[in-house]
Amino acid sequence: MKNLFKISAIISFVALILISCNKEENQVTLNGGTAPVLSAMSSLTVPTVLVKTNSTNTWNTLNWTNPNYTFNTGVSSQDVTYTIQFDTVGSNFKNPNIGEISIANNLQAMPTIGDINKALNVQLKLKENVAYNVEMRIRSTLTNASAPLYSNVLKTNFTPYLDTKVVLPANLPTPNSNNGDLFLVGDATAGGWANPVPTPTQKFTQTNAWTYELTVPLVAGKEYLMLPKNGDWSNKYAVVDKTVSGLKNGGDFDANKNDNFPGPSVSGIYKITVDFKLGTFLVVKL
């Protein structure tokens, strides 16, 4: 009987070793791939001045080769994600604000003027109406952004226009078209919800083409809105959900949303900075 137990134990041990070896043999491993080769259908030697009225027009047609990711089991059947990356010449794609356009599983892209401008003016933070030498490349990745491969680099010259995530006060439709003014209204302010609001105490100062600032007393636990035209409720700047954590100190906003900005937790003097390019606001106690 003891011998039978010993034989059984040996057989079980050998079986475990065989199963373990089998698992190791069946493991799928990445062997690598080939960096995609990027090309443009139209010439890139002529500088491009990006124009907002042409934002929906196609800028160029970009094509690239398949990176052909391969595994020990053969060519990858996983989805491949492609990203067009932009940076200024000489930065070697090390800029922390690199511009990107995501592409579906395709070997071709036809980015619009607006797509290019957003990558340059909003993400890469290049100044509007200034010409820049720009380089671009394709980044390919497998699922979960693994195994990145980078294409060759193409160079061209772009002049971006001012692009903002949130429509500027001066660009809102009539009857709210104005000179780009911005006003604060709400029970968190001294003027309450009375509209028009007292000026100049509740009128923002425009510090550049897309940024506004206002230093003002705010009442704790109350709310406010921003108006592009004093005395008019037709358009307003608000938030999607005032209960979002941390929104009292700043966050995202947009035109004609439904919720008021939540006031601070403590009454005091605050500096409100509104960035239309990024679509964000910041509230700091002084």
Determine the pLDDT at residue 164: 87
pTM of the predicted protein model = 0.67
Residue 163, pLDDT above cutoff 90:
no
- Measured CA to CA in angstroms, residue 117 lies from 159, 230, 238 at distances of 9, 32, 26
For the segment 251-272, the average pLDDT, to the nearest whole number, is 95
Domains along the chain? 30-159 (2.60.40.10), 169-285 (2.60.40.3620)
Please give the Cα distance from 127 to 115 (Å, whole number): 16
Local structure of 77: helix, strand or coil: coil
Q: What's the pLDDT at 201?
A: 97
pLDDT higher than 90, residue 197: yes
Write down the pLDDT at residue 85.
Answer: 97
pLDDT (0 to 100) of residue 105: 85
In total, the chain counts a number of residues equal to: 286
Task: Average the pLDDT over 223-234 and give the result.
Answer: 93
Q: Which residues pair with 282 in a beta bridge?
A: 250, 273
Q: What is the pLDDT of residue 74?
A: 62
